[in-house]
Amino acid sequence: MVLLQLDPFLNELTTLYQNSTDKGSIWVTLKRSSMKSKVQRNKMTTNGEPIEYRCLIRATDGKKTISTSVGARDHQRFQASYATILKAHMTALKKRERKDKKKAAEGDKKEGDVKKKPKRV
Amino acid sequence: MVYMASWDEFVERSVQLFRADPDSTRYVMKYRHCDGKLVLKVTDNKECLKFKTDQAQDAKKMEKLNNQFFTLMSRGPDADLSEVTGKEQTEAQPGKKGRGRKQ
């Protein structure tokens, strides 16, 4: 289990997705974490120190696990890059089946008859 | 726990679950390319909510949920979710170039 910086994590995640196209699954877990042990946390609580929480992100293919964490400052940049990676690799999902909406739309068009002006005699 | 049928219910209940116990709730996304399947799971080790799909349109909804959880987990369970969208958010760039002045 390796705790990586954001960009190396995203690179490794891409590799995981690329290696699992034929078989296997990828798990990505998000969890709120202080990145500290329980003992440390207890100590901080008794001393009245505030505990800073981050979002811990772990990814695994069942064999190899990678992880990283984002704080309040950098999570927006990270989630944008993360979404891009997901979009690039989740290509096996089915597209929506289109219902016959076109047929219904065409029927309405020819209703308003253009009235011909009466000819002057 | 069986899979939930409604996406909206899944989202609502998972956010509730997280807010009730932020320290032990986790959000897992499992993607299996060869079968084209996506499974989302939110659990606090007591209750478990799951959602399964094979539709590409659900992946877009998932993107929004991802962003919601990123926000909740990094900013705290009281964070405001009303502004979180499914779109890729570009953070306001601090280093904006001068106001139209060419150098």
Structure confidence by residue, pLDDT tens digits, B9-18: 999 999 999 9
Compare all CA atoms of chain A with the CA of B21 and give the residue at the minimum distance.
Answer: A32
The CA distances from residue A13 to A19, A89, B85, in Å, are 10, 10, 23
Do the chains contact at B34 and A22, CB–CB below 8 Å?
yes
The count of structural domains within chain B is 1
Domain containing residue A34: CATH number? 3.30.720.10
pTM, entire model: 0.77
**Residue A41 within a domain:** yes
Q: How large is the ipTM? A: 0.79
Residues with Cβ within 8 Å of residue A30, at least 6 apart in sequence: A55, A56, A57, B26, B27, B28, B66, B69, B70, B73
- A105 pLDDT band (50/70/90 cuts)? low
Angle at which helix A6-19 crosses helix A75-89, to 10 degrees, equals: 10
Cα–Cα distance between A35 and B78 in angstroms, integer?
A: 20
Which residue carries 């989740």 as its tokens?
A: A90
In-domain check, residue A29: yes
Query: Domain for residue A103, yes or no?
Result: no
A26 versus B88: the higher-pLDDT residue is A26
Residues of the domain holding A71:
2-90
Question: pLDDT digits over A42-89, tens only?
Answer: 999 999 988 888 999 999 999 999 999 999 888 889 999 999 999 999
Pairwise CB contact (< 8 Å): A86 & B63: yes
What was the pLDDT predicted at B20?
A: 93
